[in-house]
């Protein structure tokens, strides 16, 4: 159904919705906000302590990578919190210094941290760290050659002269540099893959390329046809071999024993 007109107040709201930010219980108790929808008994009565507590909550967010929220109560962490809060509360040039803030900062930080940790729920972030030597790569296997049935292609190039409508064939031999070994046609394509290291897998690469070349020699007429196929289908052969490498590696992935777990503090009040 398509309306002929849109009426404000009937089809769409007369006023756009307004986003409302609701402070948490901790924020409401340490730094009450005027007009907040909920009222809690404030922990601090004077504005200076409330300001210091609000700054403390901001600084606490910088320590959320701690293993547990309770670690905020450690003496060394408390000292770091006090130093950062005092630095942010330091009066700017041209304003009168607040003589009571340095004396109260440590107390305000301690009480704010205590209230925070009582209401924080630690959310574990699990990190799996394998123990022992960890290596990656490709394991040895034999190439599945059943799908390799490439045939030689014509080496000649058909040239059509537009001005005379005459056609001729030109031999394309020598247009592409030949490799010293037939396996090199495939290996040079295999090492183009980002996850294949020639230094680490040279023996396996040449073994698989050698099996492909031996298979080609098994059904092609001579070495010229073998080179022809390798020259024109080297990319497809490399993709076929690499796909089998990846499949064998995935099938052989073991479950890492003795994994160490570490959980990080992601507390929220």
Asked whether 269 and 26 are in contact (CB, 8 A), the reply is yes
> What pLDDT does 186 receive?
93
Q: What's the CA gap between 16 and 134, in Å, rounded?
A: 57
More confidently predicted of 51 and 2:
51
- State the average pLDDT for the chain: 74
| pTM for this model (two decimals) | 0.41
Nearest to 119 by CA among 26, 201, 193: 26
Tell me the residue ranges of DSSP E strands in 47-192. Answer: 125-129, 156-161, 166-171
Query: What is the token pair recorded at 125?
Result: 């972030």
Q: Domain boundaries in the chain?
A: 25-127, 156-251
The values of phi and psi at residue 120, to 5°, are: -85, 145
Which of the four pLDDT bands, split at 50, 70 and 90, describes residue 268? very low
Nearest to 66 by CA among 77, 57, 82: 77
CB-based burial label for 238 (10 Å; 0-12, 13-18, 19+):
buried
The yes-or-no verdict on residue 212 having pLDDT over 60 is yes
Query: What is the token pair recorded at 32?
Result: 């009450």
**162-182 pLDDT per residue, tens:** 666 665 555 554 445 567 889
If you ran DSSP here, which 8-state letter would residue 268 be given? B
More confidently predicted of 166 and 120:
120
């Amino acid at each position: 159904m398509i309306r002929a007109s849109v009426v404000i107040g009937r089809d769409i709201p007369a006023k756009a919705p307004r986003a409302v930010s609701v402070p948490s219980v901790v924020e409401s108790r340490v730094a009450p906000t005027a007009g907040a929808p909920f009222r809690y008994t404030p922990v601090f009565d004077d504005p200076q302590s409330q300001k210091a507590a609000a700054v403390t909550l901001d600084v606490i967010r910088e320590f959320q990578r701690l293993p547990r929220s309770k670690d905020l109560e450690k003496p060394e962490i408390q000292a770091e919190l006090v130093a950062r809060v005092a630095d942010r509360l330091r009066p700017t040039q041209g304003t009168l210094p607040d003589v009571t803030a340095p004396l109260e900062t440590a107390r305000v930080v301690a009480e704010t941290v205590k209230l925070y940790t009582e209401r924080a729920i630690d959310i574990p972030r699990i990190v799996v760290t394998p123990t022992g030597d960890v290596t990656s790569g490709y394991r040895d296997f034999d190439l599945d050659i059943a799908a390799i049935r490439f045939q030689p292609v014509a080496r000649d190039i058909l040239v059509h002269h537009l001005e005379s409508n005459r056609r001729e064939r030109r031999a394309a031999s020598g247009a592409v540099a030949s490799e010293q070994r037939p396996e090199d046609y495939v290996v040079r394509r295999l090492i183009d893959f980002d996850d294949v290291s020639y230094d680490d897998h040279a023996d396996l690469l040449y073994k698989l390329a050698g099996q492909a070349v031996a298979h080609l020699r098994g059904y092609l007429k001579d070495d010229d046809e073998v080179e022809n196929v390798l020259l024109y289908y080297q990319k497809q052969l490399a993709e076929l071999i690499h796909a089998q490498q990846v499949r064998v590696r995935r099938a052989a992935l073991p479950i890492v024993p003795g994994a160490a777990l570490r959980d990080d503090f992601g507390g929220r009040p």
